[in-house]
Structure 1
């Protein structure tokens, strides 16, 4: 058994739990149970789920993942009934993820949600303090129709900050238009850690998102390591776009929805200012859609900021995508007196 070896194991100890409920550090042997709990949570909020066992197993697979994740499994009579997790995204930004078996009595579900959110705050504050940060931010994701998560997030002082739209296109019958003669799209060669294309993609995605909501600069080494350790990463679906020999855009594909929906996923799409308004984003999108169609995928998905400063929602609709689901980013600043 490989335990979650977070550096704040003591801080992960929860407060008093309801009678009959116990909590322990999550371990790799818990992956199937955690997956079942998180899938049920997604289904309750959206009616669909994209989670895979590989995503959960990654919590325990590398030193980087184990250092950034702190997770507890809740049990009742030896049966897993919930999971609480905190993920350190940056030294001052943390992400809370909770799932409780909703078939349990509602009073118990509510009590475990309240306790779980208190625990995520304690863990985030403890980790941040160890890194010299006194007022970290804790985030939680709330799906559009998930009244239970919204109720508990709001009761705990989280505030809704931004909406994100899941865009979707069915690939049956998709036919790519004629290529834009001004834009050359090529597959990025990013397998090697010292690949020039890897550094170029980092620069393009970083620079193109500087004026977007909640931008946080990540070092190249951290960015590259996160992608190398991602079990669902797919370097064969990375593309760079050039105009007159200059790289002006990039697209990163991902396998987030492969197992659940047999769908491709566009994780990042960025175009530098000098490339905007010249058909670069459309050229990248159509290249990606055509490749996913050739691979036999049935659909392609992506998520977009509903208030994107570049009008990205309209761009995606222009290539045939439609709005499917909406989720909300909630924030709470910890250690700050009101």
Structure 2
């Protein structure tokens, strides 16, 4: 049995829940993207005060083979209007990510009922898909913003545990001027005209090796990493950089378009420096190169997220280059199928 057929069988084995009268549920598709985007954006604004979502990002769930194979999405409707979106994403065979968004303008009792049903559906589907892939105790993750009492309430009631805090940091680019180049460090734009470009493998190695000692690291094969990047609707390889010392790559930075549509901001998705490059100004050189390029592009700001307990002290690094703290979000986990 192929992986695709096993996940399809698992999906078919998990029925949709019975919902309150007047609420319909169905699998979503590409035609639902505008309505889902509107609801998910409103949910992000309500839970975080800002939204990083783009309509292309939602469409990516249905337009790429990877998106279709790894995402399961349900749309809930009442009187023809979209009132909730449930999403389950398979990140790895043993790690899944859940998202529940419910129209917060509904009666509070109904909001809570759709939240509980949504989390129950993601848990049952996670267990079924994981079992088909030979995994008996998968992990389900949920993101909770610091002031989002609704999501926290349901996460804790369902047995999720808060694991780690991540800080959103930002630098405003109005009046930004890059400092003098760091002595001994050369930063260049990665050259990746196609999937076989040497710089693509160099960037994979730099980011992978830099994060081996970081929280929740899980190794991806180069092929899986390359596929994940190439199918990302937010991809922007013009903002990928390699830092070198004496001609040897020691650091890499990956930017994407996460906040372009919502905030006219650049976004640093990954920044990694190998051990032999740490303490030599490599990370600052990469950051200032990125800031300068985003400023030249006319962006208003640059954002990133950092582990609040980063072993490399990254939070202080970002403050040292002029970034400030905006928001805090929390990674919640629940281990399924282990008797909990």
> TM-score, normalised to structure 2's length?
0.97
Distance in 2, Cα, partners of 1:103 & 1:113: 14
SS for the counterpart of 1:18 is coil
| 1:150 counterpart (136, 152, 170) | 152
SS for the counterpart of 1:145 is coil
Other-structure match for 1:316: 318
Other-structure match for 2:271: 269
Distance in 2, Cα, partners of 1:316 & 1:64: 33
Equivalences for residues 168-207 of structure 1 within 5 A: 168-207=170-209
Other-structure match for 1:86: 88
Other-structure match for 1:223: 225
Other-structure match for 2:301: 299
Question: Tell me, which stretches of 5 or more residues in structure 1 are unaligned?
Answer: none
The answer as to whether partners of 2:185 and 2:245 remain within 8 angstroms in 1 is yes
Q: 1:321 to 1:11 in 2, by over 3 A?
A: farther
- The Cα of 1:190 is off from its aligned counterpart by 1.7
- The Cα of 1:79 is off from its aligned counterpart by 1.6
Distance in 1, Cα, partners of 2:334 & 2:72: 18
SS for the counterpart of 1:231 is coil
The answer as to whether partners of 2:11 and 2:129 remain within 8 angstroms in 1 is no
Equivalences for residues 1-338 of structure 1 within 5 A: 7=8, 8-338=10-340
- The Cα of 1:194 is off from its aligned counterpart by 0.8
Distance in 2, Cα, partners of 1:223 & 1:285: 23
Question: Tell me, which stretches of 5 or more residues in structure 2 are unaligned?
Answer: none
- The Cα of 1:191 is off from its aligned counterpart by 2.6
SS for the counterpart of 2:212 is coil
- The Cα of 1:282 is off from its aligned counterpart by 0.2
- The Cα of 1:11 is off from its aligned counterpart by 3.8
Distance in 2, Cα, partners of 1:123 & 1:225: 24
- The Cα of 1:230 is off from its aligned counterpart by 0.8
The count of residues paired between Structure 1 and Structure 2 equals 334
Distance in 1, Cα, partners of 2:198 & 2:13: 41
- The Cα of 1:15 is off from its aligned counterpart by 1.9
SS for the counterpart of 2:180 is coil
Distance in 2, Cα, partners of 1:238 & 1:11: 42
Deviation string 1:160-186 (CA, Å, 9 cap, x unpaired) is 000000000100010000001200000
SS for the counterpart of 1:327 is strand
The answer as to whether partners of 1:254 and 1:267 remain within 8 angstroms in 2 is yes
Distance in 1, Cα, partners of 2:333 & 2:13: 21
The answer as to whether partners of 1:191 and 1:235 remain within 8 angstroms in 2 is no
The answer as to whether partners of 1:208 and 1:272 remain within 8 angstroms in 2 is yes
The answer as to whether partners of 2:240 and 2:254 remain within 8 angstroms in 1 is yes
Where in structure 1 do 4 or more consecutive aligned residues deviate above 4 Å?
A: none
- The Cα of 1:12 is off from its aligned counterpart by 4.7
- The Cα of 1:78 is off from its aligned counterpart by 2.1
Distance in 2, Cα, partners of 1:141 & 1:303: 13
The answer as to whether partners of 2:256 and 2:267 remain within 8 angstroms in 1 is yes
- The Cα of 1:118 is off from its aligned counterpart by 0.3
- The Cα of 1:63 is off from its aligned counterpart by 1.4
